Amino acid sequence: MRIVVIGGGQAGASVVSKLRGLGFEGDILLFSGENEPPYERPPLSKKHLLQEAPGTPVPVLPAEFWQENHVDLRLETIVDGIDPKGCSIRVGPDRVQFDHLVLATGSSARRLPFEDTRHCKNLFHLRNLTDANNLHAQLEPGKAMVLIGGGYIGMELAATARMRGLKTTVIEREERILKRVASPELSGHIADWHREQGVSVIEAAGPFRLSGKTVVDGVQLGNGTGIPADIIVAGIGAVPNTELAQVAGLSLDNGIAVDSFGRTSEPNIWAAGDCAAFVFEGRRIRLESVQNAIDQAETVAENILGANREYTPTPTFWSEQFDHLVQIAGLYEPDMISVCRKSASGISYWHYKGDMLKAVEVVDDPKTFSVARRLLSDGKSPSPELVSSAERNLKEILKATRKAAAA
Ligand SMILES: Cc1cc2nc3c(=O)[nH]c(=O)nc-3n(C[C@H](O)[C@H](O)[C@H](O)COP(=O)(O)OP(=O)(O)OC[C@H]3O[C@@H](n4cnc5c(N)ncnc54)[C@H](O)[C@@H]3O)c2cc1C
C-alpha cells in the first residue's frame, strides 16, 4: 500500500510519524512546498524573532527520522493537481499513484484588500520561516511597527517587537482585540499587558487605509488619525489552502470538508490540520492550533489503517506574550456564563452553557489548566460556585466533581 501526504507542516509530519509508529510498512511519500523538513511554527512569532540572529527552525521530528523510517520526503515540491478517480497526484510533468492520500496543506495568511500597497516591500505577513526571517531583518530598535489585526499572531508579534525595542502599535477594527477567539475578560488582560509595556493598542479602529506607494509610510484611520510606520504587518487571519481539493471536486465548507473520521468526500482521500473543516458540536469548524494538527492527523493515520475512530477533540491552544502564558481549552462563545478563579500564580475564566462547562481560559497557571482540560475532556462540569471559591483547591474541585457525576 502507498500513502501520499501533501503538506510538510505539523499535520503532515504527525500523520507520517503515527503511521510508522503503528507499524505501517508500506510506501510513504510526503510532498512539501518548503525547503526545510517540517518545523514548528509557534516560535516564529516568539523566540525566533526575539533572538539577535534568526537561528534555525525547531524541527517537528528528529533529522534522522525520515531516512530511518524510509519516508520519501520531497522538499520544495509543489503538488499541482489531484485525480481522485485515477488515484494519482500531479507533480510537474509526473504522476504519482496513491492508495490513500492525506491533504495537510495548512493555511495561508489572509491578505489586506488594498491593491495599491500589495507589493510594498515593508508590508509583511507571518506564516512560514521565510516570512519570519524577512521580518527578523527589519526588527531594529526605535523603528515603528504597526500591526494590523489584534488576533493571537498579531498580539504575539507586537509583544516580541516591543521586547526588541520597537515602537509598536496594534490596530484592531473590532471593539476589542481577540474578539473572535477570546472572552472579553481575557482580551482585557492581554490589552492591559501590552499597554503597560508601551504598546499602543487601538481598538474599535473601524475602516482604515494604508498610505504610501512603493513603501507604506503609515496607516490612516477613519477618524483622521495618522499612524506613521516603518514596518507594517498584516495579521488578519488565515485562509485554508483548499485550491487542490477544489479543483479535484472535493466538498468544501469553510475548508476541506471531512467527516468525523477525517475522510473527505472521496473515500481514500483524507484531510487534517488547518485545512480540514469538521463538525464539532453541531457546526462545521476549522481549528488552527498545533494540538489539533497533531490529534487530527494521528486519528487520520489510525483510520487509514482501519481503526474507525471518530475525532472528538477538546480544542486546545496556547499563546505566549511578554512573560505571560495563556492556555485555552474548549471554544468560548459570547452567550456563555463566565466565572473567575484566582490562584497564587494566575487567573482563570471558566465558561458555561447552562450547567455545562464548555471552555476555560487560563493565565499563568498551568496546574489549573491541566485540571480544567481534564474535566472538559471527560465532559465533567464543576459547579461555578465550586470553581470560584477561593477556599477550594484543585484536588477538592476534581474530587467533588467526580463524586457529583457518579451520584
Ligand atoms: C507565526 C505562527 C504562530 C503560531 N503560534 C501558535 C501557538 O502559539 N499555539 C498554537 O497552538 N498554534 C499556533 N500556530 C498555529 C499552528 O502553527 C498551526 O495551526 C499548525 O502549524 C497547522 O499545521 P498544518 O500542518 O495543518 O499546516 P501548516 O503548518 O501550515 O503546513 C502546511 C504545509 O503544506 C504545504 N503545502 C501547501 N500546499 C502544498 C502543495 N500543493 N504542495 C506541497 N506542499 C504544500 C505548505 O507549504 C506548508 O508547509 C501558529 C501559527 C503561526 C503561523
The three-class DSSP label of residue 340 is strand
Q: Is the pLDDT of residue 230 over 80?
A: yes
Whether residue 31 contacts residue 74, with contact meaning beta carbons closer than 8 Å, is answered with: yes
Question: Among candidates 340, 333, 388, which has minimal Cα distance to 358?
Answer: 333
- Tell me the one-letter amino acid at 147: L
Q: Tell me, what's the pLDDT at 114?
A: 87
Which atom of ligand 1 lies at the shortest distance from residue 287's CA? Answer: 19
Q: Tell me, what's the pLDDT at 95?
A: 98
Q: Which three cell numbers stand for residue 334?
A: 459570547
305-313: long-range pairs with CB below 8 Å, 24+: 305/19, 305/22, 305/24, 308/261, 309/261, 310/260, 310/261, 311/260, 311/261, 311/262, 311/278, 312/260, 313/280, 313/287
Which atom of ligand 1 lies at the shortest distance from residue 127's CA? Answer: 53
Q: What percent of the chain clears pLDDT 90, i.e. is strictly above it?
A: 89
Question: Among candidates 43, 46, 168, 153, which has minimal Cα distance to 109?
Answer: 153
Angle, CA of 356, 361 and 363, to the nearest 5°: 150
Q: Tell me, what's the pLDDT at 54?
A: 78
Q: Tell me, what's the pLDDT at 404?
A: 83
Region 300-313: mean pLDDT is: 98
Q: pTM score, two decimals?
A: 0.96
Q: Is the pLDDT of residue 385 over 80?
A: yes
pLDDT band at 407 (very low <50, low <70, confident <90, very high): confident
Q: Which of 108, 152, 289 to mutate to test the pocket of ligand 1 (most atoms within 8 A of CB)?
A: 289
Q: How many CB atoms lie within 10 A of CB 141?
A: 9
Region 50-66: mean pLDDT is: 93
Whether residue 153 contacts residue 181, with contact meaning beta carbons closer than 8 Å, is answered with: no
Give, as one character, the DSSP assignment of residue 39: B
Q: Tell me, what's the pLDDT at 399?
A: 87
Task: List strand residue ranges (DSSP E) for 121-260, in order.
Answer: 123-124, 144-148, 167-171, 200-202, 208-212, 216-221, 226-228, 231-234, 238-240, 256-257
Each residue of 333-358: pLDDT tens digit?
999 999 999 999 899 999 999 999 99
Q: What separation in angstroms does the CA of 76 have from each of 36, 38, 113, 243?
A: 8, 12, 29, 18
* Distance of CA 11 from the midpoint of ligand 1 (Å): 8
Which domains occur in the chain, in start order? Answer: 2-108+238-304 (3.50.50.60), 111-234 (3.50.50.60), 323-406 (3.30.390.30)
* Distance of CA 273 from the midpoint of ligand 1 (Å): 8
Question: How would DSSP label each residue in 72-132?
Answer: EEETT----EEETTTTEEEETTEEEE-SEEEE---EEEPPPS-STTTT-TTEE--SSHHHH
Q: Tell me, what's the pLDDT at 35?
A: 96
Whether residue 104 contacts residue 33, with contact meaning beta carbons closer than 8 Å, is answered with: no
Residue nearest to atom 26 of ligand 1 (CA): 273
Q: Average model confidence (pLDDT) for the chain?
A: 96
pLDDT band at 287 (very low <50, low <70, confident <90, very high): very high
Region 187-199: mean pLDDT is: 98
pLDDT band at 400 (very low <50, low <70, confident <90, very high): confident
Region 376-403: mean pLDDT is: 90
Region 4-23: mean pLDDT is: 98
Question: Among candidates 394, 396, 395, which has minimal Cα distance to 365?
Answer: 394
Each residue of 134-153: pLDDT tens digit?
999 999 999 999 999 999 99
Contacts with 405 (C-beta within 8 Å, 6 or more apart), sequence order:
380
Q: What percent of the chain clears pLDDT 70, i.e. is strictly above it?
A: 100
Whether residue 102 contacts residue 272, with contact meaning beta carbons closer than 8 Å, is answered with: yes
* Distance of CA 26 from the midpoint of ligand 1 (Å): 26
Q: Is the pLDDT of residue 55 over 80?
A: no
Q: What separation in angstroms does the CA of 397 have from each of 31, 106, 327?
A: 47, 38, 19
* Distance of CA 279 from the midpoint of ligand 1 (Å): 21
User: Given the C-alpha cell 505571560, which residue does it identify?
Assistant: 324
Q: How far is C-alpha 19 from the chain's CA centre? A: 23
Q: Tell me, what's the pLDDT at 203?
A: 97
Q: Tell me, what's the pLDDT at 78?
A: 98
pLDDT band at 398 (very low <50, low <70, confident <90, very high): confident
Q: Which of 5, 41, 152, 190 to mutate to test the pocket of ligand 1 (most atoms within 8 A of CB)?
A: 41
Each residue of 74-128: pLDDT tens digit?
999 999 999 999 999 999 999 999 999 999 999 999 999 888 778 889 999 999 9
Q: Which three cell numbers stand for residue 91?
A: 507533480
List all residues whose CB is within 6 A of at least one atom of ligand 1. 6-12, 31-34, 41-42, 44-45, 78-79, 104-107, 126-127, 153, 241, 244, 273-274, 288-291, 293, 317-319
Region 185-192: mean pLDDT is: 98
pLDDT band at 332 (very low <50, low <70, confident <90, very high): very high
- Tell me the one-letter amino acid at 141: P
Q: What is the rounded CA–CA span in Å between residue 168 and residue 156? A: 12
Q: How many CB atoms lie within 10 A of CB 92?
A: 9
Region 178-202: mean pLDDT is: 97
Q: Is 233 exposed, middle or buried (0-12, 13-18, 19+ CB in 10 A)?
A: buried
The alpha carbon torsion through 349, 355, 358, 359 (nearest 10 deg) reads 0
